[in-house]
């Protein structure tokens, strides 16, 4: 019984991932809330996440909601990289994206304290 409880506790922190859409890697469904609050659990994983896309200064970002996007709540956003051409015509709408979730890294450092929490290397747009 103790072994089962330990195993369940270990798995509680791990994302649930499965095969999806013919992609090689397993995809972990995630909410914007889980990505913003527990981003370390998802780094270097392929995730599926829904959110509101907005273009800001020639870059695409995923926000929790239209209200967050309209208020430029960058600290709650994800910078979209990779196949952003797939987002053509999607700015200002709610979308589901699949991509590799990555930390911003030291090269993405700016003096702006309100920067995105991470970046998503977009592979698929739904």
Task: List the CATH number of the domain containing 56.
Answer: 2.40.50
**E strand intervals along the chain:** 27-29, 45-56, 59-63, 78-82, 93-102, 118-125
**5-26: per-residue pLDDT in tens?**
444 434 456 789 988 877 788 9
Q: How many domains does the chain have?
A: 1
Tens digits of residue pLDDT in 58-95: 999 999 999 999 999 999 999 999 999 999 999 999 99
Nearest-angstrom CA–CA distance, 83 and 78: 15
Residue 32, domain extent? 16-125
CB under 8 Å to 19, separation ≥6 — which residues? 26, 27
8 part of a folded domain: no
Instruction: Examine residue 117 and state whether it is found in any structural domain, yes or no.
Output: yes
CB-facing half-sphere around the CA of 106: CA atoms within 13 A: 0
Kindly give, in sequence order, each residue whose CB lies less than 8 Å from that of residue 12, ignoring residues fewer than 6 positions away. Answer: none
Q: Name the burial class of residue 77, with classes exposed (0-12), middle (13-18) and buried (19+) by CB atoms within 10 angstroms of its CB.
A: buried
């Amino acid at each position: 019984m103790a072994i089962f409880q330990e195993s369940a506790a270990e798995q509680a922190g791990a994302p649930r991932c499965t095969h999806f859409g013919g992609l090689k890697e397993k995809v972990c469904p995630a909410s914007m809330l889980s990505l913003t609050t527990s981003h370390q659990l998802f780094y270097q994983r392929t995730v599926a996440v829904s959110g509101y896309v907005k273009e800001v200064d020639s870059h695409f970002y995923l926000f929790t909601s239209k209200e967050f996007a309209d208020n430029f709540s960058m600290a709650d956003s994800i910078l979209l990289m990779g196949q952003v051409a797939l987002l053509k015509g999607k700015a200002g709408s709610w979308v589901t994206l699949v991509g590799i979730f990555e930390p911003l890294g030291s090269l993405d450092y700016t003096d702006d304290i309100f920067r995105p929490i991470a970046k998503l290397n977009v592979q698929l747009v739904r």
